[in-house]
Structure formats: structure tokens, C-alpha cells
């Protein structure tokens, strides 16, 4: 297997894990070269990655950080793409074959779409691409000779469980959720949790945005919407179960009642490697399951009152159209406000609910409408920030 890889967000958690996976693949006789790397602001880590992987080019989306990089580092023959414009230009390049799409938030949509239009193989970690534009993206993948393989551990699990199966034999999928750090807190106690409490995820080490989304369970809500488009399911075919141990990464139920699950220790390197090598499997020395010591797996239904974000995401999926975009934009702003300690934890779902309730969908879905709606929801919420500050 030979691939020329471009990683959007190479200094993030998925990006760093992807580079480790690539090391392993190359150690096992495969030929994965790194063509392009990108960061938002982590220029020192990016410089280390450049030294090790010698990419043709890089993009730094934060313009100030890009200027700092240029004055701090000198690499011969390194092409530098600056700012948002830069990463969009890079996404249209012809000289990479595989894109690892791991930008945070809706910022990942346009560059991923550009790469799909260029027939690239896409290893997708950016949920928002499918959350806000699933139908449009599916059409584009079909129209071009692009392939979309999920990196998200739940979707990778389902993808693996479905291998060799007919979709008409699937009765539903069950997404597992760890429940995050607040599984055992009461709704009232959630009023008083701090940013640090929310950032302490019990099983997964991830970036800040997704860690807060895991604490509110919005992450699982976004994953439901992502799964709907990835596997072409009706919303009623997707359910969520709390599985604290994060060992079963998700399950598929078939019409005969058989349930197939995928297990593994919580480590993103496994689903990343599968996305990079699919349909092949490659040996590695990543941590493995150990059934020689006692292991208890538990399952319980989620509490939709306490984790209102999960309920709101299901509602947005059922409303369809532009509503997932509205939900996602409001959530990105609410998480930012919470991280800046401008609002309390329970105000996150309040902001989402208010925003969704005050929104009238009267537009046809297009990429332009999605981007415009995203901007207008953000603008309105930012204008009202005083209202939300403590
Ligand atoms: Mn996930």
C-alpha cells in the first residue's frame, strides 16, 4: 500500500496519533509518506513534526502563528499556506492521495468537501462534516470517486461490524457512550461543576472541545447524526447505551436478533489504523485486550433529562434540514463560553434549546446556506454574550 498523506490538524490528538500509526505502518513494510501537515497555533510541535516527516508543505490557519513560525523556523523547500485561505487552497491540491480530516468543528467542512471533489480517500475524524452536511457530502462522495472511512471509534466499530453484511439485514445500531466525567452527578450538582472537572474525561484523552462535548454528551448526539449519514439509517434505528468501560466501541443489531460488537482498549490508534489500511489489517504493537484478568462490562440507558444535549441532538436530527447546523453552531459557541468560564455547565443546553426554538427553517439545504446559517447563529450568540455572562 502506498499513500501520500495530508493531515488536517496534525498537532491535535488525532493528528499526533495518526503520525504514530503511520510510523507503525512504515515499520511493517507499507509506504505512507507525509505530504502535508497543518496546525492552527501549535507551531513548535509542527516544527518537530516537519523535522521528522519532511512534508512538502504545511498550513498554519492562525495568521499570527504563521508569521511567528516564519520568523522562528527556516526549512528549505517547505511550502507554507497561511490562514484559512491557505488550508482551503491546500485542500484542492492534487499531490496527496489520502486526507486525514481532523480539524475541530465546522471549520473542517469546506476543506474536506474540496478533497472529496478531488477524489481523495478521506479518513474522517471531523464529525461536523457529516453532522451539518451529511446528505450533500454523501452525494458528492458518490458523484466523485472518493471514499469516506470513519475514524471516530464508534463509527469505526460499526463499519467493522458491518463488513460483509447486507444493510437490509441491519435492524439498528447501538452507539456506546462512556457517560463522561459526570455520569454519577445529579442534574443539580451539574450546576456547580468547573471547567477542570469537565476536562477530566475518565477514559479518553482528547482535545478540549470534544472533551466538553463528552461531558455534556453532545458528542454522542453529534455521533448519532454522523452515523445516520455514514450508514444511511433512519433516526429510529440508532440508539445509545452507556457503557462506562469504553471497551465495546459500538454494536450492530441484525434482523434475526444477533448483535455484533467491536471491542478494543480505548486508544484512537486502532480506529485510525483501520481507516488508513481498510480493507486490510496490519499488525501493530498498540496495547491489546487482556482477558486473563477479570473484566466487567456494564450497560445502562442514558439519562436524557440530565444530558439534555443528547436529547436536543436527536430532536435536531428528526427536524432535519438546517437544524443540525444550528445545533452545532450554538454548541461550538456555548462550549467556548463555558471554557472561558462565562457560563455554567447547565447553561450549555439552555443556550442550545433557546437557539433552536427561535430558529425558523425556510431554506433549501446547500453548502452556502449551511455556512451562512452557521455564521449568523454564531454572530447572534456572540452579540448576546452579555446576556449569558455571569
Ligand atoms: Mn467517538
Q: Which of 150, 185, 200 is the last residue of a domain?
A: 150
Q: How far apart are the CA of 317 and the centre of ligand 1, in A?
A: 18
Residues 117 and 171 in one domain: no
Q: Are 91 and 124 in contact (CB under 8 A)?
A: no
Percent of the chain with pLDDT over 70: 98
Please tell me the predicted confidence (pLDDT) of residue 384.
Answer: 80
Lowest mean pLDDT among 58-62, 145-149, 248-252, 384-388: 384-388
Residues 133 and 210 in one domain: no
C-alpha cell at 204: 479518553
C-alpha cell at 131: 453532522
What gap in Å lies between CA 4 and CA 165, rounded to an integer?
30
| Banded pLDDT at 390 (limits 50, 70, 90) | very low
Q: How far apart are the CA of 276 and the centre of ligand 1, in A?
A: 17
pLDDT (tens digit, 9 = 90+) per residue, 162-183? 999 999 999 999 999 999 999 9
| Banded pLDDT at 202 (limits 50, 70, 90) | confident
Residues 32 and 90 in one domain: yes
What CATH number is given to the structural domain containing 144? 3.40.50.720
Q: How far apart are the CA of 178 and the centre of ligand 1, in A?
A: 10
Residues 24 and 116 in one domain: yes
Q: How far apart are the CA of 144 and the centre of ligand 1, in A?
A: 27
In-domain check, residue 191: yes
Which residues neighbour ligand 1 (ion) by CB within 5 Å? 152-154
**Cell numbers 507554507 correspond to what residue?**
80
pLDDT (tens digit, 9 = 90+) per residue, 83-98? 999 999 999 999 999 9
Residues 10 and 109 in one domain: yes
Say how many CA atoms lie within 13 Å of 250 toward its Cβ: 24
What gap in Å lies between CA 300 and CA 371, rounded to an integer?
37
Residues 174 and 250 in one domain: yes
Please tell me the predicted confidence (pLDDT) of residue 388.
Answer: 57
Q: How many domains does the chain have?
A: 2
How many residues are present in the chain? 390
Q: How far apart are the CA of 335 and the centre of ligand 1, in A?
A: 17
pLDDT (tens digit, 9 = 90+) per residue, 118-168? 999 999 999 999 999 999 999 999 999 999 999 999 999 999 999 999 999
Q: Are 207 and 39 in contact (CB under 8 A)?
A: no
Whether 310 shows a pLDDT value over 80: the answer reads yes
pLDDT (average), residues 247-271? 98
Residues 141 and 187 in one domain: no
pLDDT (average), residues 369-384? 93
In-domain check, residue 289: no
Q: Which of 150, 170, 197 is the last residue of a domain?
A: 150
Q: Domain range holding 71?
A: 3-150
Residues 182 and 48 in one domain: no
Q: How far apart are the CA of 157 and the centre of ligand 1, in A?
A: 10
Q: How far apart are the CA of 164 and the centre of ligand 1, in A?
A: 23
In-domain check, residue 277: no
Residues 246 and 128 in one domain: no
Residues 198 and 312 in one domain: yes
Q: How far apart are the CA of 336 and the centre of ligand 1, in A?
A: 20
In-domain check, residue 287: no
What CATH number is given to the structural domain containing 204? 1.10.1740.10
Residues in CB range of 225: below 8 A, 6 or more apart: 130, 131, 134, 313, 316, 317, 324
Please tell me the predicted confidence (pLDDT) of residue 201.
Answer: 87
Residues 201 and 76 in one domain: no
Q: How far apart are the CA of 94 and the centre of ligand 1, in A?
A: 30
Q: How far apart are the CA of 75 and the centre of ligand 1, in A?
A: 36
Please tell me the predicted confidence (pLDDT) of residue 363.
Answer: 77
Amino acid at each position: 500500500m502506498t499513500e501520500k498523506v495530508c493531515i488536517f490538524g496534525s498537532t491535535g490528538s488525532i493528528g499526533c496519533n495518526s503520525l504514530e500509526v503511520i510510523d507503525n505502518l512504515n515499520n511493517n513494510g507499507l509506504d505512507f509518506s507525509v505530504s502535508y501537515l497543518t496546525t492552527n497555533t501549535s507551531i513548535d510541535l509542527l516544527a518537530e513534526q516537519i523535522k521528522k516527516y519532511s512534508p512538502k508543505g504545511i498550513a498554519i490557519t492562525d495568521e499570527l502563528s504563521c508569521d511567528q513560525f516564519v520568523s522562528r523556523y527556516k526549512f528549505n523547500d517547505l511550502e507554507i499556506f497561511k490562514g484559512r485561505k491557505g488550508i482551503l487552497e491546500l485542500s484542492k491540491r492534487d499531490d496527496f492521495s489520502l486526507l486525514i480530516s481532523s480539524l475541530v468543528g465546522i471549520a473542517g467542512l469546506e476543506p474536506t468537501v474540496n478533497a472529496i471533489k478531488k477524489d481523495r480517500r478521506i479518513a474522517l475524524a471531523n464529525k461536523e462534516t457529516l453532522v451539518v452536511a451529511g446528505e450533500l457530502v454523501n452525494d458528492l462522495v458518490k458523484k466523485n470517486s472518493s471514499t469516506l472511512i470513519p475514524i471516530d471509534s464508534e463509527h469505526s466499530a460499526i463499519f467493522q461490524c458491518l463488513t460483509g453484511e447486507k444493510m437490509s439485514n441491519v435492524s439498528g445500531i447501538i452507539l456506546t457512550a462512556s457517560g463522561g466525567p459526570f455520569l454519577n452527578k445529579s442534574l443539580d450538582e451539574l450546576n456547580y461543576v468547573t471547567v477542570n472537572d469537565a476536562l477530566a474525561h475518565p477514559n479518553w484523552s482528547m482535545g478540549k472541545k470534544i472533551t466538553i462535548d463528552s461531558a455534556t454528551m453532545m458528542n454522542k448526539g453529534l455521533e448519532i447524526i454522523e452515523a445516520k449519514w455514514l450508514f444511511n439509517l433512519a433516526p429510529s434505528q440508532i440508539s445509545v447505551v452507556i457503557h462506562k468501560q469504553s471497551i465495546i466501541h459500538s454494536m450492530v443489531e441484525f434482523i434475526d436478533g444477533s448483535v455484533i460488537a467491536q471491542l478494543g482498549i480505548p486508544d484512537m490508534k486502532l480506529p485510525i489504523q483501520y481507516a488508513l489500511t481498510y480493507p486490510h489489517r496490519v499488525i501493530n504493537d498498540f496495547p491489546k485486550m487482556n482477558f486473563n484478568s477479570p473484566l466487567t462490562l456494564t450497560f445502562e440507558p442514558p439519562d436524557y433529562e440530565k444530558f439534555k444535549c443528547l436529547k436536543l441532538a436527536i430532536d435536531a436530527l428528526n427536524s432535519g434540514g438546517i437544524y443540525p447546523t444550528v445545533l452545532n453552531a450554538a454548541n461550538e459557541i456555548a462550549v467556548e463560553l463555558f471554557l472561558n468560564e462565562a457560563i455554567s455547565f447547565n447553561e450549555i443546553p439552555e443556550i442550545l434549546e433557546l437557539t433552536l426554538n427561535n430558529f425558523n427553517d425556510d431554506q433549501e439545504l446547500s453548502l452556502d446556506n449551511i455556512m451562512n446559517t452557521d455564521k449568523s447563529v454564531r454572530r447572534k450568540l456572540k452579540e448576546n454574550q452579555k446576556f449569558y455572562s455571569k
